Structure 1
Amino acid sequence: MVKRDEKAPSVPPLASEELLLLELLLRLLPQLKLQITHQTSRSPQVKVPIYQKTFPQDIYAALREMTASLVQLKADMRFLQTQEPAAQQKTEVDKLKQQQLEQAAQQKTEVDNLKQQQLEQAAQLKTEVDKLKQQLQEQAAQQKTEVDKLKTEVDKQKTEVEKLKTELEKLNKQQLEQAAQQKTEVDKQKTEVDKQKTEVDKLKQQQLEQAAQQKTEVDKLKQQQIEQAAQLKTEVDKLKQQQLEQAAQQKTEVDKLKTEVDKLKQQLQVRQVAFSASLVVAGISRIGPVPSETTLIYKYVPTNIGNAYNSNSGVFTAPVRGAYHFEWHFNGDTSQGSAGWLVKKSEKVFAVFEQQGTGFMSASNGVTLLLEVGDVVFVRLTAGSVVFDNFNHHTTFSGHLLFTM
């Protein structure tokens, strides 16, 4: 603090700048109070956060501090004016004014910022409230629509229930009428049944009487049938005996006829014996040289009357006693030689042989033999010999029955 001097001159009046600053503060103070009061009363139903409630108190505190500072500055300026020269006091006062103006501008900016924040928060709250109102309105409209649908459905169901009720009443009425009609018909039918029952009883009595009479007649007929059956049985037994005797006689005659037929068939069959065969059916075949005597099997059999020749074994079997004529032909293609025997059972009868240096060669022979039933005849290739045949059928074996004996 600056010490006061009793001889200092009197305090001069405030400058025009100081008066303007004070007037500005006094004008701002009511506007701030009005704005704060308006903001807090706009949305009484909206819950204001705690940090927003501290804004009015901070503004009042700032105003109080500004007022106290101005009062102190004013007192200090007056004191300095009484102690220092006018030029020095003016300089200091100008500085103080400048500082006060800067502080006032800064505080005004802060107050404007606070007002802007409060306005933005109020707008945001208003937007949220509008959204909530819109949602509530939409929900109310949707619920109203659903309620209307439910009312419509209830009305429809009510109409259907009334229709069903009407139909049920009609059906009940019809059923009652039908039941009355059916009862009447049943009563009529019952009366008719009683009448029919009486008639049936009469008919039963008549049938019983007729049955008794018929039974007597049937018994008589049965007795007559038994007597007739006994007579017929005796006659049938006699006829059966006669038929058995006739059948035995016919069987004997049939057996005789069968024997004669078999003999005739045998005679016909044994008179028809003939065959011809060659080694191969198709292609080319060369047999030999063989290490030992080998029975030739002639596969191609164009003729086999009586089936006396077996193409699987190459053997002819005499079916009947008689004279048979046989012929066999060999064909060879090398200098190895071709030789073979016609064999009756195990007896070598006639042979064939041929050999030359080059080219094809052939040999053949024939014989007539007396054969008993079951005698076999076949052709055997000698050891070391070769025989050839192809699709032209050069190597063959044939025979036939001349006559029976």
Structure 2
Amino acid sequence: MTDALPIDAAALVNGMAVRARAAAAILARAPTERKAAALSHAARILRGEAAAILSANADDVARAEAAGLSSAMLDRLRLDEKRIAGIAGALEDVAALPDPVGSTIDRVERPNGLCLSRVRVPLGVVGIIYESRPNVTADAGALALMAGNAVILRGGSEARASNRAIHDCLVAGLEAAGLPADAIQFVPVTDRAAVGAMLAAQGLIDVIIPRGGKGLVARVQEEARVPVLAHLDGINHLYIDRAADPAKALALTINAKLRRTGVCGATETLLIDRAYADPAPILAALADAGCEVRGTPEILAIEPRAIPADAEDWDTEYLEAIIAVTFVDGLAGATAHIAAHGSHHTDAIVTEDEATAEAFLAEVDSAIVMWNASTQFADGGEFGLGAEIGISTGRLHARGPVALEGLTTYKWLVRGTGQTRP
């Protein structure tokens, strides 16, 4: 299908959703072994098609560079042999995970003899709208499939060739395992009207998951008539407490900010306890590594290469080699700053004081809160979940890395022996 021709977005998406609903009914009853086999086949096919995928990705990157895409977006878009291997490995990891479908959450017997249990069931048809990252095509398809859902994927136009190449491998895996190809569908056009049609597909799509920038998520939340599981900004904080080990503080700061600046788990704001003995080496190490330090006057007085921070810096997800830095008055100052400026994604403390650490873990209201660990561990694969759809920063249904369990709901099963209600 070509984007040069006018499309009826509603007809396109609704047709996909009807086919997905039929596929979802089959997947809900599919044995674990068959779903796992589909992913294993897809991983093998993906490895075999690595050269073709990299060629498609090179075309996407060239177009993105010509369009002036930011370095962070280019990093998310670009594939290489190592990333291809990682995508294939993630498919196999998901295939090896315990199947949540049909598992019992809890069971209780009432005084009247009724036996009640809650069991996990698929959500049904999941729509995923995302930007830049081709690996999301594989991760989202794999997780949705293993959780018994059919999925409709709408990737960003900047990654259209890469996404289609990866999607072809997933479909081939489904067919090799005897599962319907409609279980994982990819919207074949880049027309933005298709996004609107997905958001309006109430009764056809059961949940929408956006994964992308603030503009995308805002549009989804504003327009959706379908329930939304949101992934918002990663305005993540690393707080260096007065009792932090200097070596850990330095290593964690550099890793949390600079390992990969374009991921949502990257630290964007560094908070330093005013009572911390020697912050200068940390600030110097950031600047030496090519990171732009934006700080308050106190920070500028210590690190001459730093530049003044403005009010917007405390509320910005840079996804670049830029970090905002300020001093705070102890734990109370750190938690107050995070409450005022954080996005409830991931926040971390560096300290050797267990009581302070436990207070931080309890008081910070984020999906992921860490002690003496890099915020870059905010990732479903690192959490042992195989992969993730995204990091949910909300409070309902699923929170943190959304993986298999986050793509299920539950139903009540009631077993009786003839009880009637008095």
Normalised by the size of structure 1, how large is the TM-score? Answer: 0.19
Highest Rg: 1 or 2? 1
The structure whose RCO (Cα within 8 Å, separation 6+) is larger is 2
Normalised by the size of structure 2, how large is the TM-score? Answer: 0.18
Question: Which structure carries more helix by proportion?
Answer: 1
